[in-house]
Amino acid sequence: MTMLSGARRGVVVAVIFCCVAVSTATAEARFDWPLTPLPRVERAFDKPAQNWLPGHRGVDLGGSAGQSVLAAGDGIVAFAGVVAGKPTVSIDHDGGLRTTYEPVAADVRAGERIATGAVIGTLEPGHDGCVVAACLHWGLRRGREYLDPLGLVRSQPLRLKPLTGG
């Protein structure tokens, strides 16, 4: 086993502390898939270079018409209604995150506190661009920035690389 100098030990401890703090901050909120069983991703996230340019600002998850849609995380229903002819539910979560679900006939109302896994509505058929009979378009934003919602449910393990050199 190689012994590290005091300065290097301090750097390693600082790096580990930094990584654990970041990991803990993102792990405080628990998120889960909005459909069960585990859905297939029919169309992936494609963040536009600018918010007004073409792209896919969420993921499309394969489902069945009439299937229950679940809250991906604890939060407060920000919106439950129709946007551009599509029934939509949006939930605000800690950390400035907002998840959006469409086409979903809402079983919840704006202002309602909701828990992870609670039924928020029913999946309707007819999502444009969906290759199966019914797809849930699941979106995620922080402020005005669109994020890949799969990052909420797919975690990658923390890996520390060994120090090299003498």
Give the residue with greater pLDDT, 54 vs 83: 83
Q: Which pLDDT score, from 0 to 100, does residue 78 have?
A: 98
Residue 162's pLDDT band (cuts 50, 70, 90)? low
pTM over 0.85: no
Give the integer Cα–Cα distance in Å for 130 and 137.
9
Q: Which pLDDT score, from 0 to 100, does residue 128 have?
A: 76
Give the integer Cα–Cα distance in Å for 42 and 61.
6
Q: Which pLDDT score, from 0 to 100, does residue 9 have?
A: 42
Q: Which pLDDT score, from 0 to 100, does residue 12 have?
A: 37
**3-state DSSP call for residue 9?**
helix
Residues with Cβ within 8 Å of residue 44, at least 6 apart in sequence: 56, 59
Task: Of 61, 60, 90, 58, give the one whose Cα is nearest residue 75.
Answer: 90
Show the tokens assigned to 41.
């991703």
Residue 133's pLDDT band (cuts 50, 70, 90)? confident
Q: Which pLDDT score, from 0 to 100, does residue 99 have?
A: 98
Q: Which pLDDT score, from 0 to 100, does residue 122 have?
A: 98
Task: Of 151, 154, 123, 147, give the one whose Cα is nearest residue 137.
Answer: 123
